[in-house]
Amino acid sequence: MNYDLVINNGQVIVSKKGQLFSQNLHIGVTNGKIASLSSSPLSGQLTIDARHLHVLPGVIDSQVHFREPGLTHKEDLETGTRAAALGGVTSIFEMPNTKPPTTTREALEDKIKRAEGRAWVNFAFFVGAAQDNISSLRELEKSPGCSGVKVFMGSSTGSLLVEDDENLRQILRSGQRRVIVHSEDEYRLRERKHIADSAKSPLAHPEWRDAESAVRSTERLLRLARETHRPVHVLHVTTKEEIAILKEYKDIATVEVTPQHLTLFAPDCYETLGTLAQMNPPIRSKDHMEGLWKGLLDGTVDIIGSDHAPHTIEEKTKEYPQSPSGMPGVQTLVPIMLNHIHEGRLSLTKFVELVCENPRRVFGCTTKGQIEVGLDADFTLVDLKKQRRIENSWIVSRCGWTPFDGKHVTGWPTHTIVGGHLVMQDDHIIGTPQGQKVLFE
Strands of 89-217, DSSP E: 89-94, 122-128, 146-152, 179-182
How far apart CA 407 and CA 403 sit, in angstroms, is: 9
CA–CA distance from 425 to each of 1, 59, 120 (Å)?
25, 15, 13
Active site residue 164: no
Q: In Å, how far are 109, 124, 263, 367 from 178, measured between CA atoms?
A: 21, 15, 28, 18
For residue 109, count other CB atoms closer than 10 A to its CB.
15
For residue 355, the 8-state DSSP code is I
CA dihedral 301, 302, 303, 304 (to 10 degrees): 30
CA-nearest of 122, 175, 121, 115 to 150 is 175
DSSP letter, residue 253: E
Nearest to 32 by CA among 417, 425, 440: 417
* Active-site residue (options: 61, 210, 302, 307): 307
Q: Give the bridge partners for 421, in sequence order.
A: 418
Active site residues: 307
